[in-house]
């Protein structure tokens, strides 16, 4: 009817083109890395990649809500199929979660559409902005709807994890950048919750990919805080952090795949002195971790600094941000120690020296991770390259201020970790999406005083589907009783309608 | 006086009566005769569209035919206005594909099958094209009488029970329709739809409400809305798959047409809005839709699951129509097209795949994706369409229905549509996941070559059947990408639905 | 007046047969009685005096009655007969499979 009323569907301004190019760069890196990582059916993987690129191109550059949601559904479907390379069960759970997010987003978009917002632009009402935050929440890992992120991102194959965690979760925040113009308290609160939840959980993990997934949640919290602050510094910081985190996390996930294949396990305690067996991976891992920590010649520094500067006047938020930075440095340093520095001065000097390598990433893999690290260094040393695409006025980068802050954090973090013996926790199984539902269900039953034992049915394979099946069968048995009682609905309803029109009207 | 409209009804009737005679000559000519007949019917439908193409574009199409030459209040006339043209074209083309599929699919008792199928075809065309109330009653009862032997076609216990239940509900529904027609005759004095519409305002208020409620209950029984839906899952799952596609995809749309025609054109919908009955219709349809989706979660049989999904979608369409807004009508009409294509395609595809397993419970569905990968990919595409994933037409119709609900500020309705499509993900994914599980094949079964044979024994029949399923998939994607092509037909229908004065003027003025 | 009362009684009797009796044949009989009740009501409402069923008293004396309800009733009787025949055929077929036409033993109809 009136979906194509606007004159242009696609808008090619600097903002959109920049993000499309960034997405292309990151996706190209993962495709290169996947060349030697995946073994079979590589042709279909690259076809899916092409459709995925088409999908996020539509999401970023369009002005019409209709094309926007079509693009996002294409991204959902293609990434679902990309996960099948490792496990079909995870693909099914991922699709269900993403589709829930899409449905909520579709509802909110049509709500905005029927209120008069026919194109993607700034939305004035705060409650509508908050609904949009919930709408993109399930797809971008906002707090409260983030529960699916660690199980799914850790079990997907490594290039796909890089795509998911490096770019797909950012699409929601890019949209929020277009929608939110002023300060939004809801987003700031959610952002801080995400930072601390992700960071604390990341400190306790032993599985490399689960740790990186929790780190994703934490860093997305920074972006959320930046957008929600409403000031120019906050938005600049959010944009820089999108760039920094995409490049760094893609790099880390690709390397996690390489390391997993080399050491044949995902626990970080098994990977010692990676600079001996995989020197290129080790170098790029360190560069990415340093960027995450906010080291001053990498992009992560600029983003963290700007976000801190955005809250210049408000003291308690600044303290929270200092704490957040220390938390990030804590878990990054812990990871770096376990991968790099453990036993470097100790007794087992010979540990980690093996003659034969188990897995070689191939030249495409090497080029992927090296290009990503180079991009991190480039945007860190020349931040004006990005900044001049968005804003025309000058801004100062406050190098000295940040440098002092960074050294203080670093010293605090090293002292804490040294005291706690670099937090060697016990290994436990990777999180499953099913366990969460089992806990929720048991909690609900404990409240009602009973504890139900469901027998694992023949047809469903997990707890969530079993409980859905049993609930719906309960409703079905309640309504379907006997043939004549089913027939009896007809005269009942007829008599009710007749009596209503006789006596009430 | 356009005789093409009459031919649309007469040709299937003629074919149905000629088939036993053709059987006497030689049995194998039967399918060629059937094929020629549906081609003639499609040709006539295309000729009607091409002859009146300018009028269709300006949305002033109006054709009629007076049976026996009697003038309007005294005789039965067949009318084709934009609404009837839309539904009639849909019926013609979807039945074309279903009959071609049946040529390949049905292996036994073909003569009886085709006779009954063509009688249903003629009855459906008659229901849509007629302008007389009692004529519509006769055609609706003809549909009931000829479709119940088709439900019991397989001649086993489940099918016969399904036919009994279906027939009892149809009889009761038809009886309420008859009571409504009789009351209109006793109040207004005429059976012609246009004249009844013109004089309906002059009846007493109580009588108007009584007639409206009686017709409403009759339609709710026929459409399968909540308290009266009990016949639907059993009937749609116990019949052969092409009949399932016919009943679930096409027949319910004919009943939607009678719902629209009687409640909007003949009776006055504004009375329903004034007394608040439309809120009742909207909420009971939405509740029925929610229950349909919930019941589909526990269905162990794939055809029962698809039948419950039909209850869900028809409830959604009825609620969108009952909103009486432009956006609601647009979404409902687009979803009629979408649901027809997708559900027919699903039933036909599933019917092909389960042809060689012993039953259609979920245990038999394990590993069935590897029997024929192309058909299974079509089933995945069609299921994605039912869930609402672009670029398949299911997404576009979901967008417009949600827009219709949100523009009328019925937030609960929109939320129920969203919840419905979410539960659809769960129950479709359950069967798809079960189907791609790898099955251990015992070595001696593999040596016997049972998995290398085509599913239907004769080669050309297998080709026909798979071609039709691929055609439905192709149509679903093409109409999804080019959904704007339905803009002109649907927009020409909407003014006439909201205000029925033009219909009355065209008929009575002639 | 009395025809409305007879109609109501017949509807109650048929409802008793359809909803309470457990034998399938009795349900079919109930449906037939329901249809017969409607037809009876149509014809008797159309009766405007005049002694014979097709006469009515107008100002011109005895005149022919309005014939349309009777035509509708005839059509309805035919349709009712054919549907009843179909139902009974299906019940016989069911009897061949299960040996019973009592609803207590037929649990398949509840599904």
Tell whether C104 lies on the interface with B, counting CB pairs under 8 A: no
Q: Which tens digits make up the pLDDT trace of A152-184?
A: 888 888 888 888 888 999 898 988 888 888 888
Chain C CA closest to residue A476: C111
- The SS3 call for residue A398 is coil
Confidence of residue B120 (pLDDT cuts 50, 70, 90): very high
Size of interface A-B (CB pairs under 8 A): 111
The helix or strand, by DSSP H or E, that contains position B63, with its residue range, turns out to be strand B63-66
Tell whether A455 lies on the interface with C, counting CB pairs under 8 A: no
Query: Which residues in chain C have Cβ-Cβ distances shorter than 8 Å to A484?
Result: 18-20, 103
Pairing state between β B63-66 and C55-58? unpaired
Side-chain half-sphere exposure of B159, counting CA atoms within 13 A: 17
Query: Which residues in chain C have Cβ-Cβ distances shorter than 8 Å to B148?
Result: 86, 90
Question: Do residue B160 and residue C94 have CB atoms under 8 angstroms apart?
Answer: yes
What's residue A345's pLDDT? 56
Q: How many CB atoms lie within 10 A of CB B226?
A: 21
Chain B CA closest to residue A68: B390
Asked if pLDDT for residue B71 goes beyond 80, the answer is yes
Which of C86, C95, C103 would you mutate first to test chain B, the one with the most B CBs within 10 A? C86
| Chain B contact partners (≥3 CB pairs within 8 A) | A, C
Q: Which residues are bridge partners to B77 per DSSP?
A: B66
* Least confident segment among A380-384, A388-392, C2-6: A388-392
Distance, C-alpha A145 to centroid of its chain: 11
| Mean pLDDT of the residues in chain C | 90
What's residue A457's pLDDT? 36
Q: Which tens digits make up the pLDDT trace of A77-99?
A: 999 999 888 878 888 888 988 99
Q: How far is A495 from chain B (nearest CA, A)?
A: 10
Question: Do residue B391 and residue A70 have CB atoms under 8 angstroms apart?
Answer: yes
Burial A125-141 (b: 16+ CB within 10 A, else e): eeebbbbbbbbbbbbbb
Q: How far is C45 from chain A (nearest CA, A)?
A: 21
- For A119, which DSSP code? B
Question: Do residue C103 and residue A486 have CB atoms under 8 angstroms apart?
Answer: no
Q: Which tens digits make up the pLDDT trace of C6-41?
A: 999 999 999 999 999 999 999 999 999 999 999 999
Asked if pLDDT for residue B450 goes beyond 80, the answer is no
Calculate what percentage of chain A has a pLDDT beyond 70: 85
What's residue A459's pLDDT? 35
Question: Do residue C98 and residue B186 have CB atoms under 8 angstroms apart?
Answer: no
Asked if pLDDT for residue B39 goes beyond 80, the answer is yes
Question: Do residue B436 and residue A497 have CB atoms under 8 angstroms apart?
Answer: no
Q: Write out C5-41 in H/E/C secondary structure.
A: HHHHHHHHHHHHHHHCCCEHHHHHHHHHHHHHHHHHH
Confidence of residue B392 (pLDDT cuts 50, 70, 90): very high
C-alpha triplet A251, A254, A259: angle, nearest 5°: 115
Higher pLDDT, A207 or B428: B428
Partner-chain residue, chosen from A480, A481, A491, that has the shortest CB–CB distance to C15: A491
Q: Which tens digits make up the pLDDT trace of A6-40?
A: 567 788 887 888 889 889 988 988 888 888 788 78
Which of B210, B230, B320, B361 would you mutate first to test chain A, the one with the most A CBs within 10 A? B230
Tell whether C107 lies on the interface with B, counting CB pairs under 8 A: no
d(CA C40, CA B424): 48
Asked if pLDDT for residue C54 goes beyond 50, the answer is yes
Question: Do residue C90 and residue B182 have CB atoms under 8 angstroms apart?
Answer: no
Going A413 to A415 to A419 to A421, the CA torsion angle's sign is: positive
ipTM surpasses 0.90: yes
- Nearest residue to C83 (alpha-carbon basis) of B161, B222, B171: B171
Contacts of B230 (CB under 8 A, 6+ apart): A480, A486, B165, B169
Question: Do residue C108 and residue B161 have CB atoms under 8 angstroms apart?
Answer: yes
Tokens of A376: 């991190």
């Amino acid at each position: 009817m009136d979906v194509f009323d606007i004159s242009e569907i696609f808008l090619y301004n600097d903002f959109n083109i920049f993000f499309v190019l960034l997405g292309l760069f990151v996706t190209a890196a993962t495709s290169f890395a996947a060349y030697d990582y995946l073994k079979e059916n590589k042709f279909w993987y690259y076809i899916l990649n092409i459709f995925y690129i088409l999908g996020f191109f539509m999401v970023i550059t369009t002005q019409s809500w209709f094309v926007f949601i079509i693009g996002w559904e294409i991204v959902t479907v293609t990434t679902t199929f990309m996960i099948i390379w490792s496990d079909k069960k995870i693909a099914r759970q991922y699709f269900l979660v993403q589709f829930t997010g899409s449905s909520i987003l579709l509802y909110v978009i049509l709500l905005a559409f029927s209120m008069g917002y026919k194109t993607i632009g700034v939305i004035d009402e705060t409650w509508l902005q908050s609904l949009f935050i919930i709408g993109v929440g399930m797809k971008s890992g906002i707090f409260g709807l983030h529960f699916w992120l660690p199980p799914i991102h850790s079990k997907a194959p490594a290039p796909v994890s890089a795509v998911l965690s490096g770019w797909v979760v950012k699409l929601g925040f890019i949209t929020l950048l277009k929608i939110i113009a002023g300060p939004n308290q809801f987003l700031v609160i959610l952002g801080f919750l995400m930072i601390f939840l992700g960071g604390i959980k990341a400190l306790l993990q032993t599985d490399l990919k689960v740790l990186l997934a929790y780190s994703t949640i934490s860093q997305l919290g920074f972006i959320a805080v930046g957008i929600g602050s409403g000031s120019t510094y906050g938005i600049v910081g959010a944009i820089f952090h999108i760039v920094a985190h995409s490049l760094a996390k893609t790099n880390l996930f690709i390397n996690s795949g390489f390391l997993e294949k080399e050491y044949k396990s995902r626990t970080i305690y098994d990977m010692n002195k990676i600079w001996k067996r995989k020197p290129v991976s080790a170098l790029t891992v360190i560069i990415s971790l340093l960027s995450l920590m906010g080291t001053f010649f990498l992009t992560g520094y600029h983003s963290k600094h700007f976000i801190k500067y955005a809250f210049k006047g408000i003291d308690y938020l600044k303290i929270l941000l200092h704490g957040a930075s220390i938390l990030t440095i804590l878990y990054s340093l812990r990871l770096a120690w376990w991968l790099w520095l453990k036993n470097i001065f100790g007794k087992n000097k010979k540990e980690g020296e093996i003659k034969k390598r188990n897995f070689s990433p191939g030249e495409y893999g090497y080029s992927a991770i090296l290009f990503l690290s180079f991009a991190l260094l480039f945007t860190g040393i020349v931040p004006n390259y990005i900044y001049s695409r968005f804003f025309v006025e000058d801004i100062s980068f406050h190098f000295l201020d940040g440098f002092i802050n960074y050294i203080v954090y670093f010293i605090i973090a090293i002292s804490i970790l040294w005291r706690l013996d670099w937090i060697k926790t016990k290994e436990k199984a990777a999180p499953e999406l099913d366990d969460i539902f089992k806990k929720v269900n048991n909690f609900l039953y404990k409240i009602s005083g009973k504890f139900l034992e469901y027998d694992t049915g023949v047809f469903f394979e997990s707890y969530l589907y079993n409980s859905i099946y049993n609930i719906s069968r309960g409703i079905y048995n309640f309504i379907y009783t006997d043939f004549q009682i089913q027939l009896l609905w007809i005269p009942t309803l007829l008599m009710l309608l007749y009596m209503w029109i006789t006596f009430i009207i | 006086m356009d005789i093409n409209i009459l031919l649309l009804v007469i040709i299937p009737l003629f074919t149905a009566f000629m088939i036993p005679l053709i059987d006497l000559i030689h049995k194998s000519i039967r399918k060629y005769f059937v094929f020629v007949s549906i081609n003639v019917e499609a040709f006539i439908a295309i000729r009607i569209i091409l002859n009146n193409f300018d009028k269709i574009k300006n949305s002033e199409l109006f054709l009629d035919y007076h049976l026996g030459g009697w003038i309007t209040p005294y005789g039965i006339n067949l009318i084709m206005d934009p609404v009837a043209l839309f539904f009639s074209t849909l019926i013609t083309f979807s039945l074309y594909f279903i009959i071609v599929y049946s040529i390949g699919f049905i292996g036994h008792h073909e003569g009886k099958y085709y006779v009954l199928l063509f009688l249903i075809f003629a009855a459906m065309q008659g229901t849509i094209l007629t302008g007389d109330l009692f004529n519509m009653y006769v055609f609706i009862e003809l549909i009931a009488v000829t479709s119940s032997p088709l439900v019991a076609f397989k001649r086993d216990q489940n099918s016969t029970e399904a036919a009994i239940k279906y027939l009892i509900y149809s009889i009761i529904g038809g009886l309420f329709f008859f009571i409504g027609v009789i009351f209109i005759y006793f109040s207004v004095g005429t059976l012609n739809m246009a004249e009844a519409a013109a004089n309906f305002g002059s009846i007493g208020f109580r009588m108007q409400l009584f007639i409206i409620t009686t017709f409403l209950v009759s339609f709710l029984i026929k459409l399968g809305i909540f308290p009266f839906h009990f016949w639907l899952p059993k009937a749609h799952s116990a019949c052969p798959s092409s009949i399932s596609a016919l009943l679930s995809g096409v027949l319910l749309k004919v009943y939607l047409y009678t719902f629209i025609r009687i409640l909007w054109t003949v009776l006055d919908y504004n009375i329903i809005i004034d007394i608040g009955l439309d809120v009742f219709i909207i909420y009971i349809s939405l509740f029925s839709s929610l229950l349909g989706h919930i019941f589909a979660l526990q269905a162990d049989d794939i055809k029962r699951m698809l039948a419950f999904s039909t209850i869900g979608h028809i409830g959604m369409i009825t609620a969108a129509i009952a909103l009486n807004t432009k956006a609601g009508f647009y979404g409902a009409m687009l979803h009629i097209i979408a649901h027809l294509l997708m559900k027919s395609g699903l039933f036909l595809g599933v019917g092909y795949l389960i042809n060689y397993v012993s039953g259609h419970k979920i245990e038999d569905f394990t590993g069935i994706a590897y029997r024929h990968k192309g058909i299974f990919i079509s089933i995945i595409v069609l299921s994605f369409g039912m869930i609402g994933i672009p670029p398949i037409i299911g997404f576009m119709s979901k967008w417009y229905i949600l827009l219709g609900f949100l523009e009328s500020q019925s937030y609960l309705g929109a939320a129920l549509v969203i919840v419905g499509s979410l539960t659809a993900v769960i129950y479709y994914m359950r069967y798809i996941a079960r189907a791609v599980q790898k099955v251990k094949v015992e070595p001696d079964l593999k040596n016997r070559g049972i998995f290398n044979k085509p599913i239907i024994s004769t080669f050309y029949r297998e080709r026909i059947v798979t071609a039709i399923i691929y055609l439905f998939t192709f149509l679903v994607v093409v109409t999804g990408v080019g959904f704007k092509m339905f803009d002109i037909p649907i927009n020409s229908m909407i003014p006439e639905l909201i205000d029925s004065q033009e219909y009355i003027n065209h008929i009575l003025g002639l | 007046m009395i025809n409305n009362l007879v109609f109501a009684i017949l509807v109650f009797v048929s409802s008793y047969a359809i909803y309470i009796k457990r034998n399938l044949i009795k349900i079919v009989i109930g449906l037939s009685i329901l249809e017969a009740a409607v037809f009876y009501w149509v014809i008797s409402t159309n009766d405007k005096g005049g002694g014979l069923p097709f006469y009515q008293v107008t100002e011109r004396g005895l005149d022919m009655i309005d014939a349309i309800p009777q035509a509708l009733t005839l059509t309805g009787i035919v349709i009712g007969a054919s549907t009843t025949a179909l139902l009974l055929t299906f019940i016989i077929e069911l009897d061949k499979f299960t040996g019973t036409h009592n609803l207590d033993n037929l649990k398949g109809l509840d599904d």
